[in-house]
Amino acid sequence: MNLISYYLDEQNQWALNINELRRALEESKSVCKPKAIVVINPGNPTGSVLTKDNIENIVRFAKENNLLIIADEVYQHNIWDPSARFYSFKKVMHELGVRLELVSMMSASKGFMGECGLRGGYLELENFDTEVKAVFYKMLSA
């Protein structure tokens, strides 16, 4: 495994710039074969929320580059900017008619139960092969 760092555009509400993603992906190919992109939306600790347009571009980028999207969406109930609106990667992906593997993570403790104390969460696997899901579920039950 190899970490592929990309930088968020602070001047543009911490958006994920597609040209920056392309740069990071191309530079990484000399040391690894990228398989996934992790996106945290809403962002922590910035509190930023990606626009629908930005998410659409990320979904298209992932499709073009055959990347699994791991969407950490656990802070969707902690949006403080009244002008910001949360869009899930799953919903945007379906609206675009794009089919790719997506892991969408959510929390029952962040925002709902508070930041401290009880912890609970869940994830959804979208468009995964049934055999891959079976191995994943077997691993979870072990």
Query: What domains are defined for the chain?
Result: 8-141 (3.40.640.10)
If you search the block for the tokens 């597609």, which residue do you land on?
Answer: 18
Other CB atoms within 10 A of residue 75 CB: 20
CA 74 from chain center: how many Å?
A: 10
Query: According to the model, what pLDDT value does residue 55 have?
Result: 96
Query: According to the model, what pLDDT value does residue 79 have?
Result: 82
Query: According to the model, what pLDDT value does residue 110 have?
Result: 63
Of 93, 101, 108, nearest in space to 125 by CA? 101
For residue range 11-50, what is the model confidence (pLDDT) as tens digits? 888 888 999 999 999 999 999 999 999 999 998 777 889 9
Specify whether the CB–CB gap between 35 and 69 falls below 8 A: no
Distance CA 137, CA 142 (A): 9
For residue range 47-70, what is the model confidence (pLDDT) as tens digits? 889 999 999 999 999 999 999 999
pTM score over 0.75: yes
